[in-house]
Amino acid sequence: MLRNIGDPKAVDPLILALNDSDSGVRINVAFALGEIGDPRAVNPLILALNDSDSDVRSGAALALGKIGDARAIDPLIQALNDSDSHVRYEATRALGSIRDLRAVNPLIMALNDSDSEIRWEAAGALGRIGDPRAVDLLILTLNDTDSEVRNAAAKALSDIGEPAVALLILTLNDSDSDVRYWAAWALGKIGDARAVDPLILALNDSDSSVRIEAAWALGEIGDPRAVNPLILMLNDSERFVKMYSALSLGEIGEPAVAPLILMLNHSDSDVRSLAAGTLGEIGDSRAVNPLIFSLNDSDSDVRSGAAWALGRIGDPRAVDPLILALNDSDSDVRRGAAFALGEIGDPRAVDPLIQTLNDSDRDVRIEASGALRNIGDPKAVYPLILALNDSDSSVRKWAARALGGIGDQRAVDPLILALNDSHSEVRGFAAMALGDICDVRAVDPLILALNDSFSDVRDAAAEALGGIGDQRAIDPLIWALNDSDRWVRIEAARALGEIGEPRAANPLIGALNDEYGYVRVCAATSLVKLGRMEYFDQITLDLTDEDYEVRGVAARSLGELGDSRAVDPLVATLEDEDGRVREEAAWALGEIGDPRAVEPLTCAAQNDRDKDVRKAASEALEKIGAE
């Protein structure tokens, strides 16, 4: 209980309890002190590293890692020699969390521990610290007997980055194919242009897995020098090598367009199909006419790939040829044509797509529903209402989704009926659609749906009620905070914040004790929306939670709240070990728009090891208006 409360007043009594005669009490006390994070507990927890019970020692190491105080470094280094593997594991993990350079050499030694989990954690810790001294031993660890340890070593090398490049390039010639594979992977993650020529040579590796990884890595680096070698790899004997080569050509983009257009005439239909798909990923309008021509290819996979590619490019020149392709003899081609017409969004396609709602293939009917949703023409409403009675539940589900996307109130009563469909996914999508339309006629039926036997339906109903914002939903949503499913509780907490009724405050305060951190963050966010600003700091604290999912949703919540007090904690989160969390932090800083974030976002946009983070940081800078 004291751990959940997190009250600093509990620290002194808990420190005394570290001497309790019951080892179970001492274990729980150590965990609680770690959760509270008060530096007064550091020295007592250091003493607890010598407890007679190994579980207490393990808990003390874990707690010291959470507190993150440098005083613990030397004692934790000593704990790396503990006779119990769990203690050594937690000590390794703690040293990786604190990231002190004194731990580098001891962690390098831990790469030789007899326990594979400790070797795995040691590799990860060295990656988080990022010291180049670890490179040599991490390279050797690419040959570890355990695949998870090899993976962790490769990731650590990619985290260390530029100092590891030269040795990784040499390692591409290792006699062990697994080592060469992980070297190629790490070089792709680092993205250094020095690796381009060595990786091009690795495309000729005798092991197909190495060729695959080399092709992928070249796409990650994105250097045009790799275009012609990757084009040649479309002829590889292994299909996955060809696929990854095509994907990498798509990553490189514009320099690959002209060679790929030539590949649309290749004698091998697999090559033609891959070329078509890749041209769609690149999205260059030069490919439109050649792809239209490929809609008549003798191979159905090529025709299908061309249709999907034309949709991704989105050029209206393709509309009439794609309408003709809705009558192709192959269902995959018809499905691709329906998708493409929806992506282009031209009203000329509406009537043909309505006809396609009667196609013999259910996947084609589904795609036609999605296309009509994208185009948003009210003419499609009645045909989609009819599709709510389709014999296939997936078609009914996507018809409901389409009706929600179009947002026409004529669909409300049919969607309310669909809340009673025999298939739970149809009921869930009907609830989502009603939330999209936001008609108050749906409130009472959605309240009933909060009692559905399937959690996905209850989840969707809670979200929809939050979107509609009707006061009648307050008490049912408060009740839903106690649902057995955490996602229902999450959406109920969010919905109560959206509706903004002050009497939801106390139930939301109760939800701050939920066992799932995600629920707690959403409850705190909604309390702030209700004007209870004292809970704002709770969200910023969740940026340091041990669960990456909690840290990510905390960052997103702070972005949604838009309060400039979050800038400094979010800037710190740009250094999070998880790329998904850093991406959310970058997005949030863009939403807040504070100029103080420009410099750290610029650094992330230029130097982060994850391209998704770099992209998010660049987009955030655009929102802030930085040059």
Chain mean position to CA 167: 31
Query: Across residues 427-437, what is the average pLDDT?
Result: 98
CA distance 180 to 171: 6
Does position 627 have pLDDT exceeding 70, yes or no? no
Average of pLDDT values for 333-357?
98
Q: Report the share of the chain in percent with pLDDT over 70.
A: 99
Average model confidence (pLDDT) across the chain: 95
Which tens digits make up the pLDDT trace of 293-315?
999 999 999 999 999 999 999 99
**Residue 522 vs residues 12, 459, 542, 558: alpha-carbon distances, Å:** 31, 14, 11, 11
Q: What is the mean pLDDT of residues 563-573?
A: 95
What pLDDT was estimated at residue 2? 45
The pLDDT tens digits for 164-178 are 999 999 999 999 999
Residue type, 178: D
DSSP characters over 132-163: GGGHHHHHHHTT-SSHHHHHHHHHHHHHH-GG
pLDDT (average), residues 260-268: 96
Residue type, 164: A
Q: Is 239 exposed, middle or buried (0-12, 13-18, 19+ CB in 10 A)?
A: exposed
Cα distance between residue 462 and residue 497, in whole Å: 12
The structure tokens listed for 370 are 């999605």
CA distance linking residue 360 with residue 259, whole number of Å: 38
10 confidence band (pLDDT: 50, 70, 90): confident
With a cut of 50, say whether residue 1 has pLDDT above it: no
**Where does the pLDDT of residue 7 fall: very low under 50, low under 70, confident under 90, or very high at 90 and above?**
low
- pLDDT at site 429: 98
Token pair belonging to 497: 């914040």
Q: Write the pLDDT tens digit of every residue in 37-79.
A: 899 999 999 999 999 999 999 999 999 999 999 999 999 999 9
Tens digit of each residue's pLDDT (9 = 90 or more) over 201-258: 999 999 999 999 999 999 999 999 999 999 999 999 999 999 999 999 999 999 999 9
The maximal CA–CA distance of the chain, rounded, in angstroms, is 82
pLDDT in tens, 128-173: 999 999 999 999 999 999 999 999 999 999 999 999 999 999 999 9
- The whole-number pLDDT of residue 390 equals 97
pLDDT at residue 611, rounded to an integer: 85
Please name each of the domains of the chain with its CATH number: 1-98 (1.25.10.10), 439-531 (1.25.10.10), 536-627 (1.25.10.10)
Query: Which residues neighbour 37 within 8 Å (Cβ) at sequence distance 6 or greater?
Result: 66, 67, 68
User: Under a CB-based contact definition with an 8 Å cutoff, are residues 468 and 442 in contact?
Assistant: yes
Query: Cα torsion at 119, 124, 126, 127 (round to 10°)?
Result: 150
- Report pLDDT digits (tens) over 437-455: 999 999 999 999 999 999 9
Which whole number is the average pLDDT over 501-525? 94
pLDDT of residue 4: 46
Q: For residue 116, what are its two tokens? A: 């594979």
Name the residue among 333, 336, 375, 340 with its Cα closest to residue 354.
Answer: 375
What is the per-residue pLDDT for 370? 98
Q: Flag the least confident range among 221-230, 375-384, 609-618.
A: 609-618
Cα 348 to Cα 280, 357, 399, distances in angstroms: 22, 16, 20
Q: Is residue 121 scored above 90 in pLDDT?
A: yes
Instruction: Look at residues 487, 437, 433 and name the one whose alpha carbon lies nearest to residue 458.
Output: 487
Place of tokens 């007090």: 565
